[in-house]
Amino acid sequence: MYNIVIVGVGGQGTLLASKILGQLAMNNGYDVRVSEVHGMSQRGGSVVTYVRISNDQPLYSSIVEQGQADIVLAFENLEALRALPYLKKDGTIVINTQEILPMPVITGATAYPADCLARVEAEAKTVEINAVEIAHECGTYRAANVVLMGVVAKKLPFSVEEWHKAIEQCVKPKFLEINLNAFDRGYSYND
């Protein structure tokens, strides 16, 4: 069983990431629970998606709770810090090293913690990657979510072929090549 938490800022493409993961697990005979966030927080707020996959024990709950996550995938530095408590003791957090300022920082009510990544590194096994830059090299910064899937893929028991198949099932054909390329770049990322 794997519990995965995907966090980011509304509009970053976290839903596609959870969709690919769910599809992949289903293709491989796993039971799957995915919990998505729709509505108000999608408007630039913190968003959290939970993915639970299992081929050895029954799943009931669709949410991952504090201390239960094998993997946290964070699309943004501050959200990585916020999501840290989800992680199991020996879990891994994968971070797309991007800073998106929340409104209380923009208005000057509070400051963006300068030591965000250091605080995460001090507490957990961390993989940091500038997925936006890599995605941009692949053709569009919007494929950053699939670059990150490539990084996560190395922590999960599925073959590259299976990942490619799941991506093909989840993205529109005209963006398939960019996305497969983005995945491979993430997969070959040296952490």
Partner 1 sequence: MSLHGLATPKEDNQLKQLLLGNEAIARGAYEAGVRVSSAYPGTPSTEINENVANYPEIYSEWAPNEKVAVEVALGAAVSGARSLACMKHVGLNVAADPFFTATYTGVNAGMVVVVADDPGMHSSQNEQDTRMLARASHAPVLDPSSSQECKDFLKMAYDISEEYDTPVILRVTTRIAHARTLVELEDRVERPLREYKRDIKKYVSMPANMIGRHLYVEEREKKLAEAANTLPINKIEWADTKVGVVTTGAAYNYVKEAMPTASVLKLGLAYPMPRKLIEEFASKVETLYVIEDMEPFYEDTIKAWGIKCSGKDLTGVQGELFMHKIANKFNGEEPVGPMNTQGIPARPPVLCPGCPHRGLYHVLGKLKLTVCSDIGCYTLGALPPLSGVDTCVCMGASIGMAHGMEKARGHEQAKKTVAVLGDSTFCHSGLTGLLNMAYNRAVGTVIVADNSITGMTGHQNNPANGKDIHGDPTVALDIVKLCDAMGIKHVRIVDPFDLKELEKVVREETERDELSVIISRRPCALIVKQPGIPYVSDPDKCRNCGMCLKIGCPAIRKTETGVAIDPTQCVGCGLCQQLCHFGALHTEA
Question: Which spans of this chain sit near partner 1 (rule: CB under 8 A)?
Answer: 9-13, 15-16, 18-19, 22-23, 26, 31-46, 58, 60-63, 65-67, 78-79, 81-82, 85-86, 100-113, 140-143, 145, 169-172, 175, 179
How would you classify the pairing of strands 87-96 and 69-74? parallel
| Pick 25 or 94: Cβ nearer partner 1 | 25
User: In the bound complex, what is the minimum distance in angstroms from residue 53's beta carbon to partner 1?
Assistant: 11
Angle at CA of residue 131, ends 130 and 132, nearest 5°: 95
CB-CB neighbours of 138 under 10 Å: 22
Cα-Cα-Cα-Cα dihedral of 28, 25, 59, 70, to 10°?
120
Considering the complex, state which of residue 142 and residue 191 has its C-beta at the smaller distance from partner 1: 142
C-beta of 97 vs 191, nearer to partner 1: 97
Any bridge partners for residue 58, and if so which? none
- Give the CA dihedral 149, 152, 154, 158, nearest 10 degrees: -70
Please identify, using beta-carbon distances, which residue of 35 and 187 lies nearer to partner 1.
Answer: 35
